Chain A
Amino acid sequence: MPATPDQEALMLLERGDIRGFDLAYARYAQPVFGFLVRLSGSRALAEDLFQHTFMRLAEAGPRLRVDSNLRAWLFTVARNAFHSHARAQKVEARADRELSMIQPVIGVGPESNLALAELERALSALGESDRELLLLFGVEGLSHAELAEVLALDPVTVRKRVSRARARLAEALDEDGRVVSKSEVSE
């Protein structure tokens, strides 16, 4: 059976071949960075955490097993870096995020832009734990199993938490996809 791109990247990294790093970077730099920007609400902080994540790959990559889940590993490192930072600084990522920092790479129509901007707002107003779940599961498309690995939880708990987070996001939006004002949102 041919190796998957992730296995290929890990095999190259194991041999210390920089093409392994490049392959992993090409596949996951954008998703990991997007996750960190939306999770932290700060582009500058996201850059620091992103740098930490990929430097960890350069350091630990040669020791990773070829059958490791590279995507889950990278998101775990990124998430842990964020939580370590948050603990150290004793700051919770704020709800009023720098929305202007999220500049789309791909073009979308003006109407879609509006709807997506509202969705970004609703997402950023959620609690950190809900936001993290929805970013990983909803935006980045991690499976429940991968999510369980990243969060170090069992898959049943993960399913329940994702379901609750989705419900809270739905509550935060009205039928037209606009953010419901805080006083209208029931806890």
Chain B
Amino acid sequence: MTEVDELLARLRKLPPVALDPEFEGALRTRARRHLQRRVRPAPFASLALADTAVLYLGWALHFASALYR
């Protein structure tokens, strides 16, 4: 083994650095919340939005057809 390789082997032995558990807990909670919020579908909100759009389009159609009556 060369001097350089021994040096590399010693670098690999440097100990890991401990994370503060409190900091870690807060970060994981924040990240989890973010991830859940981002991907979880909101069925009630989506349905309400779709219903509103359909109602509006129906009303617009009805209004437009009334103009030509």
Q: Which residues of B in the span 1-34 have a Cβ within 8 Å of any Cβ on A? A: 3-4, 7-8, 10-20, 23-24, 27-28, 30-32, 34
Chain A contacts for B46, CB-based, 8 A: none
A64 within 8 A of B: no
Please state if A112 and B30 are interface contacts (CB–CB under 8 Å).
Answer: no
Interface size for A (C-beta < 8 A) is: 47
The stretch from A68-76, A147-155, A165-173 touching chain B is A165-173
User: What total of A-B pairs shows CB separation below 8 Å?
Assistant: 101
Using known A-B contacts A21-B35, A59-B34, determine if residue A170 contacts B17 with beta carbons closer than 8 Å. no
Q: How far is the CB of B52 from chain A (nearest CB, A)?
A: 26
Q: Give the nearest-CB partner of A108 in chain B.
A: B15
Please state if A169 and B7 are interface contacts (CB–CB under 8 Å).
Answer: yes
Contact of A138 among B12, B27, B32 (CB under 8 A): B12
Chain B contacts for A13, CB-based, 8 A: 35
Partner-A contacts on B (CB < 8 A) = 3-4, 7-8, 10-20, 23-24, 27-28, 30-32, 34-36, 38-40
Using known A-B contacts A47-B23, A102-B17, A105-B18, determine if residue A115 contacts B34 with beta carbons closer than 8 Å. no
Please state if B32 and A51 are interface contacts (CB–CB under 8 Å).
Answer: no
Which 6 pairs from chain A and chain B are nearest by CB?
Answer: A16-B39, A104-B15, A138-B11, A58-B31, A34-B17, A58-B34
Chain B contacts for A170, CB-based, 8 A: 3-4, 7
Which label, helix, strand, loop or mixed, suits the secondary structure of the A interface? helix
Chain A contacts for B7, CB-based, 8 A: 138, 166, 169-170, 173
Please state if A166 and B17 are interface contacts (CB–CB under 8 Å).
Answer: no
Q: How far is the CB of B8 from chain A (nearest CB, A)?
A: 5
Please state if B10 and A119 are interface contacts (CB–CB under 8 Å).
Answer: yes
Using known A-B contacts A170-B3, A170-B7, determine if residue A16 contacts B36 with beta carbons closer than 8 Å. yes
The stretch from A3-11, A25-33, A86-94 touching chain B is A25-33
